[in-house]
Structure 1
Amino acid sequence: MTQQQRLNALLELISERGNVSIAEIGDALDISAATARRDLSTLAGQRLVTRTHGGAAALGSGYELPLQYKIARQAEAKVAIAKATAALIQVSDTVGVNGGTTTSEVARELGRSERFVRGDGDDGVTIVTNALNIAYELSVRPHVKIVVTGGVSRRQSYELVGPMVTASLAEMALDVAVLGVDGLTGRFGATTVHEGEADVSRQFASVAKKVVVVADSTKLGRSTFARIAPLSVVDVLVTDVAVEPELRRELEAAGVEVVVASATA
């Protein structure tokens, strides 16, 4: 296990438990006490955890892993979801994409797909995003037109939030909105952990002809703090597993098409 992988796993462990001891870290990650202490010092130095006597604690009850530490989680599932989602996009579409690891994979797939490379020099696809990392990464793709909303940057997710995002999206009409979420249930619909990001995702959905939610298996059947939209707003769910029967019934009742991506596709 590399140091980056250990840090990923350690942050996830602290996120799940709230606080951990050196002994618990050693048992969970199969590392020595000395290595655990060094890794905790690294994370504490980056202000990602708080050191305690004999261990560490999350920064607060609403602890959220920074984006760069989420990238390796469910990696194969996210790539499969990205491929299946890109297949839903037509050449010359205008696509709204919010921030997150799964939507970043979707944007990468659109950026490298030969299907969107046009010989006439026109843009193969237009991507409207509030995610700075997506805009930066795709800015070198000649067939992709990048439009970035205004807003104030949120360092946890590299997303722009606030009223300037709403103002810019109000002037647009999107063919498709691709939304990453932190939870999806029948009762609460699509949810996320931050109210500012929820509002932006809601705005994306309001100006799109079609709303596609991309969510791996860890997001299904759970709800988080901030509601984005009920299931009735969602047109398509792209996920990596067969949906549990109860949630599938709720999705069908709301008219949501379910696409299950194959990791071998």
Structure 2
Amino acid sequence: MSLSDLMTQERQEKIVQLLDHKGRLTVFEICDAFDVSEATARRDLAALASQNLIRRVHGGAMRMQVVATAETPIVQRQGQQTEAKRRIGKATAELIGNGETLLLTGGTTGLAVARDLRQHENLTIITDSLLIADELLEHQRHNIIMLGGVIDADEKAVRGTLTRILLQHLQVDKAILGTKAISLERGISVETPEEAELWRAYIHTAHHVILATDATKFNQSALVQAVPIDAIHTIVSDASLNDDYVEQLQDKGIFVVIT
């Protein structure tokens, strides 16, 4: 290894250490800290991202987050990325036309979408989420169908074989889904084979699949691959999603909405 390569490796290791400490760095902060050009800083970030050591975002990078095997209950997640989820919910609702039939799955971003469907008319909304059903019933503007299954107390949603069987007999215009882990290589990944089967049922049900999720969920991976990235037709996310990542998604034929 040449001296130049050693210097590059050492600098990149220090960038990772800084991200571990600060959580996020801009390209300009890296230039100042290591007295390198903007082009060199961007090459370092690209190299580290390719090793899944960091996550690129607009103008810099963030520390890579590991998807926990122990799920955080939804009531605790509701306080995370709240402004981003509010904007994503609004932008996703704008993709929905009056009179459509939807599958809207549980999760904090799905709940944000439900809140922005208040002004729509005559929707039929199928959901697996007790929280979403409760939110929609408050306004009594739509036809609500609650899926059956075993109640997941942490997620306030139904799961299991019965849920999957019911989905296999339904057809909707659009499915609006959320995820905790998505990557270009593995698509949507989840923690259990049962959850992966449920995801495949979601996809099979819909003519058009919309993934509504904040930027922290990208370049993440969980234990079991559920569906490939090209199973998604539209992605709605926030402005923290890296521009290069957006281009790669678009290259795969995915329509991307950044809000």
Tell me if TM exceeds 0.5: yes
Report the TM-score when normalising by structure 1: 0.68
**Displacement of 1:247 after TM fit?**
2.8
Match of 2:113 in 1: 106
How many residues align? The count is: 192
Q: Which residue among 202, 208, 212 is the counterpart of 2:206?
A: 208
Distance in 1, Cα, partners of 2:189 & 2:180: 6
Distance in 1, Cα, partners of 2:124 & 2:98: 9
| Equivalent runs, 1:113-132 vs 2, <5 Å | 113=119, 116-117=120-121, 124-132=122-130
1:96 aligns with 2:103: yes
Distance in 1, Cα, partners of 2:76 & 2:114: 19
Match of 1:158 in 2: 156
Match of 2:48 in 1: none
Match of 1:13 in 2: none
Distance in 1, Cα, partners of 2:73 & 2:165: 27
Q: Which residue among 26, 49, 70 is the counterpart of 1:63?
A: 70
Show structure 2 runs of 5+ residues with no match: 1-67
Show structure 1 runs of 5+ residues with no match: 1-60, 118-123
> Any idea what the Cα deviations from partners look like across 1:213-264, whole Å, max 9, x if unmatched?
0110111111122333111110000001253255334312321011001xxx
Distance in 1, Cα, partners of 2:136 & 2:99: 16
Contact 1:205 1:211 in 2 (8 A): yes
**Displacement of 1:195 after TM fit?**
4.1
Instruction: Name the SS for the 2:106 alignment partner.
Output: coil
**Displacement of 1:108 after TM fit?**
1.5
Q: Which residue among 177, 190, 198 is the counterpart of 2:196?
A: 198
Report the TM-score when normalising by structure 2: 0.70
Instruction: Name the SS for the 1:259 alignment partner.
Output: strand
1:145 aligns with 2:138: no
- More displaced, 80-89 or 227-236? 227-236
1:255 aligns with 2:253: yes
**Displacement of 1:173 after TM fit?**
0.9
In structure 2, do the counterparts of structure 1 residues 245 and 137 end up closer, same or farther at CA, with 3 Å as the change threshold?
Answer: closer
**Displacement of 1:193 after TM fit?**
3.6
Aligned residue type for 1:172: L
Match of 1:227 in 2: 225
Distance in 1, Cα, partners of 2:71 & 2:161: 23
